[in-house]
A and B are shown apart, each in its own frame.
Chain A
Amino acid sequence: MFENIAAGMHMVLQLDNILAALFGVTSGIIVGAIPGFTDTMAMCLLIPFTLYLRPIAAIAMLMGLSKGGNFGGSIPAILFNVPGTPQAAVTALDGYPLSKQGKSGKALKIALYASTIADTLSDFILFFLAAPVAMIALKIGPPEYAMIILFSLAVIGTVGSENLLKGMIATGFGLLFAVVGLDPLSAGRRFCFGSIELTAGFALVPMVIGLLIVSETFRQIEIGIADKILKKDILNKLPKAVDPRNHQVSFTEFKNCLPAIFGGLGIGSAIGIIPGIGTTVASYLSYTYTKKSSKHPERFGKGALEGVAAAEAGNNAVVGPNLIPLITLGIPGNLAAALILGAFMIQGLVPGPLFMQQHAPMLYALFTVLIISNIFTFAVGSIFLKFARKLVNVPKPILYPAIMVFGVIGSYVFRNSLFDVKMMLFLGVVGYILTKFEIPLPPILVAFILGEILERKIRQSLLISRGSLSIFFTRPIALTFLILTIVAIIMLGTRLRRKK
């Protein structure tokens, strides 16, 4: 084990990796701070370029982006009540009232501290748990594997949407998109419509850029410039802190926030390990837990520093443990992890049970990358807080055309083909039409990325059982996950109904 750790460190501590992580973190914070441009969108745009980097540098850049974006999203949430990323909406609950009291500096700083502390500690969970989980993962066969994927798809589909059925339809579409191309076992052509380019299937890059970025741009064009949320007068309305103490977090305040941070850490990590639930739920649960266990629950929502700390700790603690199912099973915990899985696959690395055996140093390299990214998040974040106000106001008419052109380049350079650019446009239109019917797009992508492996495992299982479906019910682990899938769908489905 120790030689693996040393080898991992050696792989990471090279200039290009560190620069990649720094670039990822910085652009993540910037992008997260711009409302309407999420960290996952930025990841989609960067993925094609990672093809030209070495594996560790590629992953370092994307992980840094994800971490930086996670923190960056809280900046506009605190300053203007406009979450830069979906998970930051919970941060705004207490962060914005603090800003209105002229304590924005304090809120931003506690958000930064809570993010980095929870993030760093949660990475250690990855460090200690990945190897044992991988040992167990090595023992499972195709039917178990298929059921675990099904379980995570069910969770991703139901958590990510307002309507259970629509989430499931989205998952179905994703699986259908994954079918296009050569058959994984017999290599027969499927849905190629005579096109040579389609025999390789839908490429990942046009898929993610089309569905997430082009469709979003279309939506913004439809809305037009009617919604100028951040008009200049709102920006100027915020009271400036007269008292310099309002810009600092005192030691007592920090100490009072520690229970919230550790609560968030526990909840976030636990949620991170389960595939599919993701950051938004974690920050929400962490916030409500801290509020319930607080001595002064009435202060929450009116500017409680603990509220900001809990929300940020909760969503950042997800990132590290989220990689456990990714590395050991090859199953992404959320969209960001799915995109990282995509980047792994582009590099020719397939995360999964065998990954730990074949690339053990890689895991420790990844871990080191995560810690380095955290240090960068803290450093860049501290400097960046001073300029954050300006960036939040990037006008959409400039932002979206730039993103579109960048998306075109991304789709093109990936395989040097204009076909992929056309594919991107096609998928953008499909995504736009689907959002008109409130079909969530992230489950489509996750299902698309997992589709091929799910199909392979199901068909392998059916080969073992000579075509009998009973193989999924008669093996204990497979059955457990099948039951868990059904329970998850029912539970999450009723929760959604109650929410309505």
Chain B
Amino acid sequence: MNKDQKFGIVLLIFCFILWFFLIPTQISSTKDAVYPRLVNVWIAICGILLILKSWKSTEKIILYESKDEKGIIRVVATVIIFLIYIFMIDFLGFFISSFIFIIILMLSFGVRQWIKLISVPIIILLFLYFLIKKILFFPLPEGIFF
């Protein structure tokens, strides 16, 4: 099975869930549901055509190349760190949590020089601090320190 077929099948399952579970439970009147159902049909038709088309083509496309695995792990880790970061903003405030977040992101990009790791976030955040607090006066989430 190639990449497009897998995607097409996932798409059809999604359309199925949308049609039979999400639309009936999330939209109260059937009249309001007409347009979402039209869009649902649109995606489903494209999904079916995609499966049919990739059936004909003989080229094999492998879903995940093995060399990508490390990269994908890095991405998953970043998403988790990002989630923690968003919750930390509420607690530590924007600037402190961003400081930690930028360092971690730079580490995941492979930066290992500690001078860069400390100076880059400080420069970025100082710039943002003056831009937002002193020039634009936007409210930013504040934590226990500032």
Contacts and interface: CB of A to CB of B under 8 A. Distances in A.
Interface of A: 49, 52, 165-166, 168-169, 172-173, 175-176, 179, 183, 185-186, 188-193, 218, 220-225, 396-398, 400-402, 404-406, 408-409, 412-413, 416, 418, 421-422, 425, 429, 432, 437-438, 455, 458-459, 462
A186 B29 contact: yes
Interface residues of B, number: 59
Contact of B128 (A52, A220, A409, A416): A409
B138 A413 contact: yes
Given A412-B141, A437-B3, A189 B50 contact: no
B29 to A, nearest CB: 6
A432 B139 CA distance: 30
Given A400-B105, A401-B105, A418-B90, A165 B50 contact: yes
B46 interface: yes
Nearest to B6: A437
A49 B68 contact: no
Question: Most B CB atoms within 10 A — which of A49, A401, A421?
Answer: A401
A142 to B, nearest CB: 13
A205 to B, nearest CB: 13
Contacts of A402: 102, 120, 124
Question: Most B CB atoms within 10 A — which of A52, A175, A221, A224?
Answer: A221
16 contacts: A168-B46, A179-B36, A185-B32, A186-B29, A189-B27, A190-B36, A191-B27, A396-B109, A401-B101, A402-B120, A405-B101, A408-B94, A413-B140, A418-B89, A429-B79, A462-B34
B49 interface: yes
Interface string B48-59: 011001000000
B115 interface: no
Interface of B: 3-4, 7, 11, 22, 26-29, 31-32, 34-36, 38-40, 42-43, 46-47, 49-50, 53, 68, 70-72, 74-75, 78-79, 82-83, 86, 89-90, 94, 98, 101-102, 105-106, 108-111, 116, 120-121, 124-125, 128, 132, 136, 138-141
Given A221-B78, A409-B140, A421 B89 contact: yes
A437 B51 CA distance: 13
A48 B28 CA distance: 33
A435 to B, nearest CB: 11
Contacts of A220: 109
A168 B105 CA distance: 34
Question: Most B CB atoms within 10 A — which of A172, A406, A432, A438?
Answer: A172
A238 B40 CA distance: 53
A221 B75 contact: yes
Contacts of B105: 221, 400-401, 404
B71 A223 contact: yes
Given A165-B53, A175-B39, A188-B32, A222 B72 contact: yes
Contacts of B79: 218, 425, 429
A405 B49 CA distance: 40
A409 B138 CA distance: 10
A448 B76 CA distance: 26
Nearest to A437: B7
